[in-house]
Structure 1
Amino acid sequence: MRRTWKNPTTLIGALLVTVLVVLAVIAPLLWDEAATRFDPDSINAGSSAAHPLGTDALGRDLLARTLVATRLSLELAALATAIGASLGILLGVLPTVLPRRTGRFVVGVVDALVAFPSLLLAMFTAVIVGLGAQGAVLGIGVALAPTFARITHTLTASIAQADYIAAARMLRVPRLRVLTRHVLPNIAEPLILNLTQAMGGALLGLSAMSFLGLGVQPPSYDWGRLLFEAFGHVYVTPVVIVGPAVAVTLAGVGFTLLGDAFAKAASRTPQTAGTVTATKAEPATEAPEEDAVLEVRDLTVSFPGGVRPVRNLSLTVRAREIVGLLGESGSGKSMTAAAIGQLVPYPGQMTAARYRLCGTNVDTLNAHDRRKLLGSSLAMVFQDPTASLNPALRIGGQLAEVATVHSGATKAQAHERAVERLAQVRIREPQATADQHPHELSGGMRQRAVIAMGLMGTPQLIIADEPTTALDVTVQREVLRLLREVVDDSGAGALFISHDIAVVSELCDRVVVMYAGRVVEELSVHQLATEAAHPYTRALIGSLPDMSTDRTRPLDTIPGRQPAPAEVPSGCAFAQRCTLASDRCQVRPPLVELTPGHHAACWEAQ
């Protein structure tokens, strides 16, 4: 905003708007008598010392009338803007709360209204309602509504997939509450700033309506009405049109410049995330594995068109164990986490031969029991805590919501637990932090708050999706140490997703390496540096320099790129980048056990 106010156009717009507001307040007090006094001797007079802008058909001073008309012009424009904003915001948010087909119909109506000329829409509405200020205000308000609706719908759609909204939907928070608590507070700023720009449009529109005889009627008058009355004498005494014309122009320019400046200052790109989708799987009858908090077998995530970012993945996480899920960007790590948390983006689907959480087959549960199990036994820590936390709500309230929804705690109990959990993740002033908004915390503090949110229940599985990527190395180490302490103290298991081998080596007990949506190797962290069997795993290790790396040689790299989910070949997906590839690699190698606890999917390693 400081840079915005240094912009000359912003200063000009602010100055013009300030002058108009001041005139609206003082002009009727100072010049109302001159504006209404009849002077038979000066009817339709031109410019003179007594009347710089001339007089009208009744001898009234046009300069005084122009100044006095400022109040009514601004009042009507403000009222029309308020009507347009209210109707537009309502239309813009309806697709969020209505069923999908009905919402699409509303969007289609809005698009059609936006394409319709706004002045014609205002005139049509005014003719139906009736001539006069009331009809003109309502007409301009209706004409402004489609623009507000389009803006509102765009802003709503831009944050509708944010993590905190996805979480609210997963908790089955009513749509209206999602709208009022999570959506509207986060789009309020750009909407409010857009009001300034809309005010300029309303002023011009109302002046046009009055100029056409559809707006303000005598004895009241605004700038448009003064233009209407002066137009008949413009060829005899042109000066009579100068006052209202200049006023309309300056007002429109002032509000437009100020609105443009505020809109640029408030522009931003919200983060997005996926929505919830149902899970389909075949019921599993085998006994749960001992100490396993998570068991998935043949997990597959598919999208229309044959796109499968995760393919037949099997994974086990045991209590007090941290399993690292390692791989390049696009290997399917985050989609695996989303599938486990039932957060696969629409229209994706998850299937699994077995999906057990804490020994319970998730897919045999009804919707209520599934939500209860996932909400209390599973905690997810995402890469960007800013996207996971609602910027419009306080930290304590967001943590407390978990306890009130899943544990039935009262607000006081939930707030007390939130403070305790913030203290548990080593936040020094937990009570003060609970009363702060996310933007008031540093990146490391926000990540600790997200971990604390996961601990509001009694999680048996913690999924951390690259939680240290955006943090500096000092804070990163603190978060990793905290995650290890939480796992050891609570007895939970953790799935740690990362592309950083150094971080995985420091934190995890076992490592699962993914490539092109499949597991290509699984081994203990102690075997990672020296006993990795798959060429892809060895290539990842080789690309990480250490203290003994020869600095005179270039860093090792993996040539080529990972295939997209829709381009994965039927054979070994890594063959095109592998120096050991042979004709056998045209057939996909199975994941086999090389030594106890060590599995690899490579023909050369078997």
Structure 2
Amino acid sequence: MPVRKAPGRLSVLRTPVGGCATALVVLVLALAVLAPLIWGDRASVVDTGALQQGPSGAHPLGTDNLGRDILHRVLVASRLSVELAVLATLIGVASGTVLGTAPSVLPRWAGRLVTSAVGIAVAFPGLLLALFFAIVFGVGAKGAVLAIGLAMAPGFARLAQTLAASVSGRDFVAAARVAGVGRARLLVRHVLPNIAEPLIVNATVGAGMALLAFSGLSFLGLGVQAPDYDWGRLLGEGLNQIYVNPAAALAPGAAVVIVGLAFNLFGETLAAAVGARTRVVSTPPPAPVPAPAPSGGTPGDPVLVVENLRVSFPGPDGRGPGGRTTPVRGVSFAVGAGESVGVVGESGSGKSLTALAVSQLIERPGVVTADRLDFLGTPLLDTPARQVRGLLGTSLAMVFQDPMTSFNPTRRIGRQLAEVAEEHQGLTRGKAHARAVDRLRAVRVPAAARRARQYPHEFSGGMRQRAMIGMGLMVEPRLVVADEPTTALDVTVQRQVLRLLTRVRESDGTALLLISHDITVVAGACRRILVMYAGRVVEDLPTAGLLTAARHPYTRALLAAVPALDTDRDAPLAVIPGRPPEPAEALSGCAFAPRCPFADERCHSADPALAAAGDAHRVACWHPRDGAVVAAGNPSVVELPEVAHE
């Protein structure tokens, strides 16, 4: 099998910064280990005949007030100085990372309490906190280590908190949650690996700062106590004879600066090395695992039932009814086994929020309510979260809009797919990987065995989207929710992805809920279309009657805005005048009335209900229209693609 060879992590060491940093750190570590063994005895020899002498051949940096050689003492002090600084940094990083990521796994009230405590601690200067803790824990090296470590913790906690929050909103985290991954496992496998690099950089920079802080405490007499000594104590002793022998104070100060610089440069090098995620991989493809039998159920059986779904959030400045904004207000629909339903509408119409609510991905402060929200007969809003997670992880697949953010960039594609099978099917690591390769083959990913061991950035956009669909097929999904899966793809790849979704639906009897702002995309893959506007379904009709039976002015306007091949290029493109209402805007009457050319006083005062308008056809409009849809400025009827079949 062909092998992709990438530059190794060691290539980072060949750069000037990497080479210097590595050399400095190796020198410091070697000095910390060997100096006490080589010069430990000489550093302790008292010579009453050479008290406070200046530099000489016998004593290059002079002697202290007991006649001890200052150079030897500075070299020997490197072990204790580096040990204490590293230990304090480890305490600060560990406690800060725990505090910063705790809100992700704790109950919401406990997470807010931890966040508030961290915010208060960050407001205090680090040196002030170190002095405070030094007094609390007492004078000495042990108290100083705890003081500096705890003083560093709030800064690392805030950093970890910010980084974790930025990662927690990514699609691959949402996908893992849909797959049923628990909070602690989600944190360890998906969040921490993606925030490790900045934490490493700040940890090494923090080690340099800890060294400086520790030297400061020892200089003030709060750190290392006699007979032990570090660079801070030596600096304090040398300050007393700085006018007689400046080298006595400059030598330990220079040691602190050089070692701090070494830590900082090494942090940059280490971060670059961690970022170089490369390895030469050559493994034979595993034997394919037979695909599971279709589990679509009887055609027409309800897979998903939604009645009066509402999603609300705290409104800006308390605006909105009850101080909350309700971007999804009273959505009702059902999806049968093997059925394909499309949801269309402009941006802000509530399409994606509806999908997230169905997938149980709306978190506080968002609130989801519904008269009925059943998936496979299970009421999602009244069932314990653990059971819901298991149900959705095994029976619902989510395909997100951006294929680049749908995968964890720090983990291989195969491992991310295999995690689903390990979590819900109890497969071993090897069998789960074999099934992942088989699912990649099923979604037409070439060289699936090799691709399974690659990272997401090595996939094209279309292949990432195929792999995302393959992740959903790791179990036996009864419903695939595709939230604008073709937005980031070119038209050729769009057609391939739509054909793949159609093939999955037809071969396995899986229901499909396809969300898009492009009505032609939905018409090309779905049998039924829901048109949403301002958080409501304004029309529900079969795709076959879209051009001839669409009755809501908004649906007709969307169709009229689709250009055809024979559209007059000199004429302006058809647009819908105005703009959709803001989610926090108080609505009276039909939400589309301000943009509708047929609106009258009744439309502005009363909101029409979604009522039957024919066989399997519902519309919410006081003045539904009749006749075929014609594009503005174009005499021909708008043409829509046929449903994609293979």
Match of 1:575 among 589, 593, 601: 593
Q: Secondary structure, in 3 states, of the residue corresponding to 2:559? A: helix
Return the offset for 1:311.
Answer: 1.9
The residue number in structure 1 matching 2:281 is: none
Query: What does 1:376-391 align with in structure 2 at a 5 Å threshold?
Result: 376-391=394-409
**Quick one: distance in 2 between partners of 1:435 and 1:361?**
39
Q: 1:266 to 1:330 in 2, by over 3 A?
A: farther
Query: What does 1:21-36 align with in structure 2 at a 5 Å threshold?
Result: 21=29, 24=32, 35=43
Return the offset for 1:516.
Answer: 0.5
Percent identity over paired residues: 54
Q: 1:361 to 1:289 in 2, by over 3 A?
A: farther
Q: 1:569 to 1:550 in 2, by over 3 A?
A: same
174-183 vs 449-458, greater mean Cα deviation? 174-183
**Quick one: distance in 1 between partners of 2:374 and 2:174?**
22
Paired residues of 2:540 and 2:619 also in contact (CA < 8 A): yes
In the alignment, is residue 298 of structure 1 matched against residue 315 of structure 2? no
In the alignment, is residue 588 of structure 1 matched against residue 601 of structure 2? no
Query: What does 1:483-498 align with in structure 2 at a 5 Å threshold?
Result: 483-498=501-516
Paired residues of 2:63 and 2:70 also in contact (CA < 8 A): yes
Q: 1:340 to 1:135 in 2, by over 3 A?
A: closer
Unaligned runs of 5+ in 1: 268-287
Return the offset for 1:513.
Answer: 1.4
Return the offset for 1:198.
Answer: 0.5
CA RMSD of superposed structures (Å)? 3.8
Q: 1:206 to 1:419 in 2, by over 3 A?
A: same
Paired residues of 1:461 and 1:493 also in contact (CA < 8 A): yes
The residue number in structure 2 matching 1:76 is: 84
In the alignment, is residue 229 of structure 1 matched against residue 237 of structure 2? yes
Return the offset for 1:259.
Answer: 5.0
In the alignment, is residue 331 of structure 1 matched against residue 354 of structure 2? no
The residue number in structure 1 matching 2:519 is: 501
Match of 1:601 among 607, 612, 620: 620
Return the offset for 1:326.
Answer: 0.7
Paired residues of 2:92 and 2:148 also in contact (CA < 8 A): yes
Match of 1:89 among 76, 89, 97: 97
Query: What does 1:503-518 align with in structure 2 at a 5 Å threshold?
Result: 503-518=521-536
Using structure 2 for the length normalisation, give the TM-score: 0.79
Paired residues of 2:237 and 2:249 also in contact (CA < 8 A): no
The residue number in structure 2 matching 1:111 is: 119
Q: 1:11 to 1:532 in 2, by over 3 A?
A: farther
Match of 1:193 among 197, 201, 220: 201
Return the offset for 1:208.
Answer: 0.6
**Quick one: distance in 1 between partners of 2:414 and 2:353?**
29
Q: 1:128 to 1:520 in 2, by over 3 A?
A: closer
Return the offset for 1:27.
Answer: 5.6
**Quick one: distance in 2 between partners of 1:451 and 1:370?**
21
Q: 1:384 to 1:121 in 2, by over 3 A?
A: same
Q: 1:224 to 1:558 in 2, by over 3 A?
A: same
Residue 310 of structure 2 aligns with an amino acid whose one-letter code is T
**Quick one: distance in 2 between partners of 1:105 and 1:356?**
34
Match of 1:537 among 551, 555, 576: 555
Q: Deviations over 1:90-141 (max 9, x none)?
A: 3333334433333333333333333344334434444555544333323322
Using structure 1 for the length normalisation, give the TM-score: 0.84
Q: Secondary structure, in 3 states, of the residue corresponding to 2:541? A: strand
Q: Secondary structure, in 3 states, of the residue corresponding to 1:313? A: strand
Return the offset for 1:337.
Answer: 0.9
**Quick one: distance in 2 between partners of 1:222 and 1:306?**
59
In the alignment, is residue 476 of structure 1 matched against residue 494 of structure 2? yes
Paired residues of 1:424 and 1:452 also in contact (CA < 8 A): yes
**Quick one: distance in 2 between partners of 1:196 and 1:557?**
56
Q: Secondary structure, in 3 states, of the residue corresponding to 2:539? A: strand
**Quick one: distance in 2 between partners of 1:545 and 1:16?**
65
Residue 316 of structure 1 aligns with an amino acid whose one-letter code is A
**Quick one: distance in 1 between partners of 2:14 and 2:550?**
59
Paired residues of 1:510 and 1:523 also in contact (CA < 8 A): yes
Return the offset for 1:401.
Answer: 3.8
Residue 305 of structure 2 aligns with an amino acid whose one-letter code is E
Residue 534 of structure 1 aligns with an amino acid whose one-letter code is H
Paired residues of 1:51 and 1:63 also in contact (CA < 8 A): yes
Query: What does 1:27-426 align with in structure 2 at a 5 Å threshold?
Result: 35=43, 40-47=48-55, 51=59, 53-127=61-135, 129-166=137-174, 174-256=182-264, 259=267, 290-304=300-314, 305-358=323-376, 370-409=388-427, 413-426=431-444
Paired residues of 1:53 and 1:242 also in contact (CA < 8 A): no
Q: 1:241 to 1:406 in 2, by over 3 A?
A: closer
